[in-house]
C-alpha cells in the first residue's frame, strides 16, 4: 500500500508564485473586463430606463412592454458602439453577443425599479414612510 507523503511545513501552500501572463491570457482578461463593463452598464441602463418610463413618459401596460423591448434591443448598440466604442473582431463578431450579454440583469433591474416607482407613484410616498 502506498503512503501519502504530507508536507508538514506550516507555510506549505500559503504562497502563490507570480508569473508573467502570456499574450493569450492578457487578451482573455481584456475581453472579460469588456464584458463585465457591458454587463454593469446594462444593469444601470435597465434601472434608469425603468425609472424614466414610469415617471417621465408615464407608461403603463402594453406601452411599457414596447418601451422595454425597444430599450432592451436598441440601447445596447448605442452603448457598444457609441459610448464605450468597443472593437469587435470581424471573424468572431456576432450581433448576438451584444444582445445576449446582460439581458437578464437588464430585465431584472428594469422590472424592479419600474414596479417600485409605479407603486410609490400610485400609492404615495407617505404610505411607505408611516
- Report the predicted TM-score, pTM, of the whole model to 2 decimal places: 0.72
Domain extents in the chain: 23-129
User: If you count DSSP H runs as helices and E runs as strands, how many of each does the chain have, helices first?
Assistant: 5, 0
For residues 38 and 97, the answer to whether their CB atoms sit within 8 Å is no
Per-residue pLDDT of the chain (130 residues; tens, 9 = 90+): 566 656 566 656 666 667 788 888 888 888 788 788 888 988 999 999 999 999 999 888 999 999 999 998 888 778 777 777 766 666 666 777 777 888 899 999 999 999 999 999 988 877 777 6
Cα 75 from Cα 96, distance rounded (Å): 14
Rounded (5°) CA angle 35-40-41? 95
Amino acid at each position: 500500500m502506498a503512503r501519502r507523503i504530507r508536507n508538514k511545513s506550516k507555510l506549505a501552500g500559503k504562497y502563490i508564485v507570480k508569473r508573467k501572463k502570456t499574450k493569450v491570457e492578457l487578451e482573455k482578461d481584456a475581453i472579460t473586463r469588456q464584458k463585465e463593463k457591458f454587463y454593469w452598464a446594462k444593469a444601470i441602463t435597465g434601472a434608469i430606463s425603468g425609472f424614466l418610463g414610469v415617471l417621465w413618459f408615464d407608461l403603463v401596460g402594453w406601452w411599457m412592454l414596447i418601451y422595454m423591448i425597444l430599450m432592451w434591443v436598441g440601447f445596447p448598440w448605442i452603448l457598444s458602439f457609441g459610448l464605450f466604442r468597443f472593437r469587435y473582431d470581424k471573424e468572431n463578431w456576432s450581433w448576438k453577443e451584444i444582445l445576449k450579454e446582460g439581458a437578464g440583469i437588464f430585465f431584472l433591474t428594469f422590472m424592479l425599479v419600474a414596479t417600485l416607482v409605479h407603486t410609490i407613484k400610485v400609492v404615495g410616498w407617505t404610505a411607505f414612510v408611516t
